[in-house]
Amino acid sequence: MREQSVREQTVLDLLVEALPHLRGGLRPESAQFTAALVYDNLELDAAAVVSATDGVLAFIGAGSDHHLAGSPHLTDVTRRTLAAGRPYTTSNREDIGCPVRGCPLTAVTVAPFVVRGNVVGALKLYRAGREMEERDARVAIGLARVFSVYLEVAELDARAALVTQAELEALRAQISPHFLFNTLTTIAALTRTDPTRAHDLLVDFAEYFRETLARHGEFVTLDDELENVERYLRFEHARYGTNLRVSFEVDARSRLALVPVLSIQPLVENAIAHGIASRHRGSIRIRARFRDAGVEISIIDDGVGIAAGMMHSVLDRGFGTGLGLGLNNVHQRLIGAFGPRSGLQLASAEGAGTTVAFWVPMRGPKE
């Protein structure tokens, strides 16, 4: 009983050590770490991790002179397990099916990694000159099942990252159509009354879009994001003139904080389009200040406000006339990067204005 307890603790320790590596996916680095870990702790003669598509990812122990990392699958038992998606144990050298004469491996358990119903690889535990014990097979199968769960989490992480990037590209492509229309209308009107200014604005407009679409990273410093906001506001000032007042209250130290790219500009645009445009005048304060080991960023307008009955829907995807995509996108990207605490917070009163705020840690996005 004591031996079983020690073995269970060993398996638990293996999981604690291996899982963080597998969270990054089934790669040669994580495979090598995992194979070495089980080999060192389970008194094996050899251990391997294989991929269903990329062959042997890692091999350590007896037979490593011909069971080589980076090579195609060598044994019949591996191909059989990957095809069937079921664990396989044998203590028969012929069943293993290694084509190399004199291979020292005589027993094996191969346990598949199954992710979303698909076999993506397997864990292999080997004995040389002795049989594979039943408890060894149970350990291999148990480890493989837990590893499969973590590999599925890694796949979901990767898919989430792709969705985030796709939504970011959609947000960039959106840069809202009515902003595009309004700005071009303003420039067109200026060509009759102030051709020089119209020319300058057109050059600025082209530069704004070029730089916005060229920003490939997901995060920028607050200083860079505010510079993008100031560039955007030049076009809105061309439309509203002195009727639009914008002030910045930014703690100098907070400018180094990392924020998602295009996280503030959509909020400012929302304040203008939904808070101020109907009145044709108003003011916006963009504030950044230290709070709780991070930076709180607020966009405060004195516009028409949000009706109480609509507050619960403002952050829903597709809310309103298109800007809902921008708000929802910013909200979800903030949560994905920094956790639920960083999602958008709204406060509003009809006729008195709206405040949209979010908080980011100074340490940057979570890993």
CATH of the domain at 58: 3.30.450.40
Q: Within a domain: residue 165?
A: no
Tokens of 321: 């006339």
Strand segments, DSSP code E, in the chain are 46-51, 55-61, 88-90, 107-115, 118-127, 219-221, 244-250, 258-260, 282-291, 294-301, 345-349, 353-361
Residue pLDDT, tens place only, 307-322: 777 776 677 665 554 4
Which of 95, 127, 158 is the last residue before a domain boundary? 158
Q: Within a domain: residue 167?
A: no
Phi/psi for 181 (5° steps) reads: -65, -45
Q: Which pTM does this prediction carry?
A: 0.51
pLDDT value, residue 212: 62
Residue pLDDT, tens place only, 27-83: 888 888 888 888 888 888 999 999 999 899 999 999 999 999 999 998 999 999 999
- Residues facing 107 on adjacent strands: 127
Q: Within a domain: residue 318?
A: yes
Tokens of 305: 């406000």
pLDDT value, residue 17: 61
Query: Do 27 and 91 reside in the same domain of the chain?
Result: yes
Query: Tell me, what CATH number does 222's domain have?
Result: 3.30.565.10
Distance (Å, whole) CA 259 – CA 264: 9
Query: Do 336 and 272 reside in the same domain of the chain?
Result: yes
Q: Within a domain: residue 79?
A: yes
Q: Within a domain: residue 129?
A: yes
Q: Within a domain: residue 169?
A: no
Which residue range is the domain that position 146 belongs to? 2-158
pLDDT value, residue 176: 57
Q: Within a domain: residue 170?
A: no
Nearest to 143 by CA among 124, 117, 115, 120: 124
Q: Within a domain: residue 309?
A: yes
Dihedral (CA of 136, 137, 138, 142) sign? positive
Query: Do 69 and 196 reside in the same domain of the chain?
Result: no
Query: Do 133 and 49 reside in the same domain of the chain?
Result: yes
Nearest to 123 by CA among 26, 190, 213: 26
pLDDT value, residue 14: 54
Domain count, the chain: 2
Which of 158, 192, 225 is the last residue before a domain boundary? 158
Which of 115, 130, 158 is the last residue before a domain boundary? 158
Query: Do 150 and 52 reside in the same domain of the chain?
Result: yes
Tokens of 7: 């073995």
Residues of the chain with pLDDT under 70: 1-24, 153-182, 206-207, 209-217, 312-313, 316-326, 364-367
Query: Do 205 and 345 reside in the same domain of the chain?
Result: yes
Query: Do 152 and 232 reside in the same domain of the chain?
Result: no
Dihedral (CA of 240, 241, 247, 252) sign? positive
